[in-house]
């Protein structure tokens, strides 16, 4: 699965005041965290949070909503860190974790004797470079999560209309269900032309 997040604007009184009277209104955002199946393009799970909740803190709640085994978890560098690797390993120890380490990342203390998956990523980056690592671990599939987020924003919209966080969560969950129904109805088939 591919994990990512995107911002959704809350249309509120600040926007109404700015339209009517001009000037600055108060802008509020929510973060929609998604776990996507890269093979089917379906949204497996979602969480809507305030902007105060970090991306990495939502990995556990997203994984808790999945009942079956997980083959791999791919995410961007915002999810890099021992807590995310630990959360995924606790959920499914066989799951492959594909998260690019930050450019300032250093190997763990046990990298020589018992390397962690993150240590192995760092070693592969050192051997092949970032692009070589991306090809070796198929990191390009992360873009499929971005495609689903773009599809959500294009079809459902870039803003939430509900006023409270619980009703906004319901609105976002309904939007994810609509996207999944549309995905199941059929996706365009793309072919590379030589």
Q: How far apart are CA 149 and CA 36, in angstroms?
A: 9
The runs of H, that is alpha helices, within 22-116 are 59-64, 82-91
Task: Match 């763990």 to its residue by tokens.
Answer: 108
Task: Match 């380490």 to its residue by tokens.
Answer: 101
- Per-domain residue ranges for the chain? 2-179
Tell me the pTM: 0.84
The one-digit pLDDT tens for each residue of the chain (194 residues) are 999 999 999 876 555 566 666 666 566 889 999 999 999 999 999 999 998 888 889 999 999 999 888 999 999 988 998 899 999 999 988 899 999 998 888 888 887 888 888 889 999 999 999 999 999 999 999 998 999 999 999 999 999 988 889 999 999 999 999 999 999 998 777 788 87
User: Which class for 126: exposed (0-12), middle (13-18), buried (19 or more C-beta within 10 A)?
Assistant: exposed
């Amino acid at each position: 699965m591919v994990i990512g997040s995107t911002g959704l604007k809350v249309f509120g009184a600040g926007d109404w005041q700015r339209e009517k009277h001009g000037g600055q209104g108060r802008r509020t955002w929510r973060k929609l965290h998604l776990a996507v199946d890269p093979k089917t393009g379906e949204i497996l799970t979602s969480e809507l949070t305030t902007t105060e909740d970090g991306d990495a803190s939502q990995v556990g709640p997203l994984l808790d909503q999945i009942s079956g085994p997980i083959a791999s978890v791919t995410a961007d560098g915002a999810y890099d860190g021992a807590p995310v690797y630990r959360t995924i390993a606790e959920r499914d120890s066989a799951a492959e974790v594909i998260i690019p380490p930050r450019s300032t990342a250093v190997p763990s203390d046990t990298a020589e004797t018992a390397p962690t998956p993150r240590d192995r990523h760092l070693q592969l980056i050192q051997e092949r470079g970032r692009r070589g690592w991306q090809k070796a671990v198929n990191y390009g599939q992360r873009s499929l999560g971005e495609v689903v987020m773009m599809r959500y924003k294009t079809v459902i919209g870039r803003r939430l209309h509900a006023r409270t966080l619980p009703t906004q969560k319901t609105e976002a969950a309904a939007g994810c269900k609509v996207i999944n129904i549309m995905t199941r109805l059929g996706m365009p088939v793309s072919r590379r032309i030589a």
